């Protein structure tokens, strides 16, 4: 009998039973997903982005669709760091004992550093995913991820304020992703996560007005996959730290493509919104797809296309 392919994955010091994690903002803090499927099968989980104060998010409508994708302008609706640490994180940790990644979003460098230090209080957090790429807030967010100096400043400040592994989540809305990646690596990032959503918009023909309440939104889903693969490829060539790849993954074969481009692990967002059990189906299909490609482990595929 041929043994099943080894799915274990590692993002630096963070070990995952398999490479698949829900992408931040598409899994909340896990309670809704846990009612729909066995979340303990996930390789890791990434929490909704947390800010210092609670946020109600942007005006409605916040989502709309497009061929092979969607636009969202949720605007970081979240309960704030106090509530996240006191209620959401313990509740998630009681349901899930794999690696929990905290997604952190600030509006100033100092705020990022302070939030990172607060998450140090929790043993339940395995790593920080620093979101310098949110396109849906009027200041902060993406502004840090589209400028090399600002990306470096946030990385340095967070690195100093936290003992946790620091993963920096990059924006695709840049001309040269490799340059930003190198700036984050130079300041001590332990890993890079990419891509966040692509800035987009749609207009309602009937009202002749933008559809989203925020005018602009972030494009995600299968239409983003080729952009994400290209950027993961470029970043893999530019740095030596691990990469968490995401953007448009909707099948086990898409996971393979990300791995070949250089992703040590992956996150899946939109596919899980379309079909809540998509991530579990993909995890179940991975061993067969890896074997059919002639490999016996996920790890052996990482970067193999280079």
Ligand X SMILES: Cc1cc2nc3c(=O)[nH]c(=O)nc-3n(C[C@H](O)[C@H](O)[C@H](O)COP(=O)(O)O)c2cc1C
Instruction: Provide the minimum distance between the beta carbon of 294 and ligand X in the complex, in angstroms, as a whole number.
Output: 27
Q: Which stretch binds ligand X (CB under 6 A): 20-28, 86-94, 151-159, 254-262?
A: 20-28
- Report the half-sphere exposure of 44 (CA within 13 A, side-chain side): 29
- Interface pattern 135-164 for ligand X (x via CB under 6 A): ------------------------------
**Residue from 19, 43, 49, 135 in contact with ligand X (CB under 6 A):** 49
Instruction: Provide the minimum distance between the beta carbon of 86 and ligand X in the complex, in angstroms, as a whole number.
Output: 19
Concerning whether 193 is annotated as a catalytic residue, the answer is: no
CA 203 from chain centre, in angstroms, equals 28
Active-site pick, 66, 105, 134, 223? 134
Q: Is 221 among the residues that bind ligand X (CB under 6 A)?
A: yes
Q: Is 131 among the residues that bind ligand X (CB under 6 A)?
A: yes
CA distance 289 to 287: 6
Q: Is 173 among the residues that bind ligand X (CB under 6 A)?
A: no
**Residue from 52, 58, 103, 171 in contact with ligand X (CB under 6 A):** 103
Residue whose C-beta lies closest to ligand X: 25
Are the C-beta atoms of residues 107 and 139 closer than 8 Å to each other? yes
- 289-294 long-range CB contacts below 8 Å, 24 or more apart? 289/252, 289/253, 289/255, 289/256, 290/5, 290/7, 290/256, 291/2, 291/4, 291/5, 293/256
Q: Is 51 among the residues that bind ligand X (CB under 6 A)?
A: no
CA distance 279 to 18: 11
Closer to ligand X by Cβ: residue 155 or 196: 196
**Residue from 55, 156, 159, 169 in contact with ligand X (CB under 6 A):** 169
Q: Is 220 among the residues that bind ligand X (CB under 6 A)?
A: yes
CA distance 174 to 142: 10
CA distance 266 to 259: 8
Angle between helical axes of 177-186 and 225-238 (0-180°, round to 10): 50
Please report, for residues 144, 177, 187, the alpha-carbon distance to residue 149 in angstroms, rounded to integers and kept in the order given.
8, 13, 11
Phi first, then psi: give them for residue 234, nearest 5 degrees.
Answer: -65, -40
Closer to ligand X by Cβ: residue 157 or 279: 279
Q: Is 200 among the residues that bind ligand X (CB under 6 A)?
A: no
Which residues of this protein are in contact with ligand X, per CB under 6 A? 23-26, 48-49, 72, 74, 76, 103, 131, 134, 169, 196-197, 220-221, 224, 246-249, 268-271
Residue positions annotated with a catalytic role: 134
């Amino acid at each position: 009998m041929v043994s099943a392919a080894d799915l274990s994955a590692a993002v630096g010091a963070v070990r995952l039973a398999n490479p698949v994690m829900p992408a931040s903002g598409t899994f909340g803090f896990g309670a809704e997903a846990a009612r729909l499927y066995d979340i303990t099968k996930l390789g890791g989980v990434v929490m909704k982005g947390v800010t210092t104060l609670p946020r109600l998010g942007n005006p409605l409508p916040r989502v709309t669709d497009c061929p092979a994708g969607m636009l969202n302008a949720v605007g970081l609706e979240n309960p704030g760091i106090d509530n996240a640490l006191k209620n959401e994180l313990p509740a998630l940790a009681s349901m899930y004992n794999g690696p929990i990644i905290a997604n952190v979003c600030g509006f100033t460098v100092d705020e990022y550093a302070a939030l990172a230090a607060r998450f140090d209080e929790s043993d339940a957090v395995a790593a920080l995913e620093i979101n310098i790429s949110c396109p849906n807030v009027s200041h902060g967010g993406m502004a840090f991820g589209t400028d090399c100096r600002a990306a470096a400043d946030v990385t340095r400040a967070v690195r100093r304020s936290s003992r946790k592994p620091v993963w920096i989540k990059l924006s695709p809305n840049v001309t040269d992703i490799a340059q930003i990646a190198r700036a984050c690596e130079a300041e001590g990032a332990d890993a890079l996560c990419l891509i966040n959503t692509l800035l987009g918009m749609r207009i309602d023909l009937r009202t002749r007005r933008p559809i989203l309440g925020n005018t602009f939104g972030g494009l995600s889903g299968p239409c983003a996959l080729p952009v994400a693969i290209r950027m993961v490829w470029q970043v893999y060539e530019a740095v030596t730290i691990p990469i968490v790849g995401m953007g448009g993954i909707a099948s086990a074969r898409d996971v393979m493509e990300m791995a070949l481009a250089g992703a040590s692990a992956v996150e899946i967002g939109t596919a899980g919104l379309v079909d809540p059990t998509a991530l579990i189906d993909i995890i179940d299909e991975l061993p067969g797809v890896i074997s059919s490609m002639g490999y016996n482990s996920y790890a052996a595929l990482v970067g193999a296309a280079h």
